[in-house]
Amino acid sequence: MNDAALKSDTQDIVVDEVFPHAPETIWKALTSGELIARWLMPPTGFEPVEGTHFTYQTTPAGEWDGVIRCQVLQVIPKQRLAYAWKGGHEGNVGYGSRLDTVVTWVLTQVETGTRVRLVHSGFVLPKNDTAYRNMSDGWKKVVRNLDAIAAEQDSSKSLH
Amino acid sequence: MVMFEAANITAVLRTLADPTRRAVFERVVRSEEITVVELTRGSGVTQGAISQHLKSLKQAGLVSERPEGRNVYYRAEPEGLAPLVDWMSHYGVFWRDRFANLRTLLKEIDP
């Protein structure tokens, strides 16, 4: 997707925590298929080698089979790992809709261990409505958008 | 699996496609807890119809019930709407969960 307008309209998720472990240990947890399976999901075909394609099986939705298609984009041992994270289908709304994102892990050694920063970037927000973003206080607002969602579903159904 | 039951999207949408049922749901959302009698009052619909709508909402995971004495109290279940939440909310929860898993795993392999 090369649409500049879309790109400028994307949002990132950032999780940033310090773990009391050495960067080597964390790197192993991020790049060993067997270990990834134990804290994230079992990857299929993962190798910490740039260009490698791999997948995750997640919950399907509508016409989407639930497969997250990834490609390793960058590997700097013990420092940085980035991969493309794509999935979804145009026919879906919300979960299961088209997803074209990048997951980046950055490790920095600190006194107490390693700072692990995850950036999941490239989310296109529906109608730019920030109320969608936060389930904890946003879900009552989601209710207000149900009419629109139901209408969209109905109109897409009548096309088939 | 911790992930939201996205397979229920269709069920949730179908349940909420009915305007009366959606109105019932919105009233449950606005109240902390509410009974069938209270929901029927001023709704212009019979108590039996309200009960049917509540049953459908319950099946879709959108409301839960709590019997107390002769009354049954209904409250909204935010998680029922999870399938309608966008990817960003989904992964916001997902990655925080996985960070917790990662912390546990690291403790195991590097005590």
- Classified by CATH at the fold level, domain A8-159 comes out as Alpha-D-Glucose-1,6-Bisphosphate; Chain A, domain 4 (3.30.530)
What is the chain A residue with the closest CA to B76?
A140
Distance in Å, alpha carbon of B48 to nearest chain A alpha carbon = 24
Q: What is the pLDDT of residues B76-93, one digit of tens each?
A: 886 677 666 678 778 888
Mean pLDDT of A61-66: 88
**Contact residues, chain B, for A35 at CB < 8 Å:** 105, 109
**Contact residues, chain B, for A96 at CB < 8 Å:** 6, 9
Chain centroid to CA A137: how far? 22
What CA–CA distance (Å, rounded) separates A9 from A7?
Answer: 5
Of the candidates B104, B58, B102, B51, the residue with the CA atom closest to the CA atom of residue B80: B58
Q: What is the pLDDT of residues B41-52, one digit of tens each?
A: 988 899 999 999
Q: Which of B27, B106, B107, B108 is the best substitution to test chain A (most A C-beta atoms within 10 A)? A: B106
| Cβ(A97)–Cβ(A149) below 8 Å | no
pTM: 0.59
Are the Cβ atoms of A95 and B83 closer than 8 angstroms?
A: yes
ipTM entry:
0.72
Q: Whole-number mean pLDDT of chain A?
A: 79
Mean pLDDT of A3-7: 39
C-alpha torsion angle, residues A25, A67, B60, A154 (rounded to 10): 140
3-state secondary structure A2-38: CCHHHHCCEEEEEEEEEECCCHHHHHHHHHCHHHHHH
Are the Cβ atoms of B3 and A99 closer than 8 angstroms?
A: no
Q: Which of B2, B3, B32, B87 is the best substitution to test chain A (most A C-beta atoms within 10 A)? A: B87
Distance in Å, alpha carbon of A3 to nearest chain B alpha carbon = 19
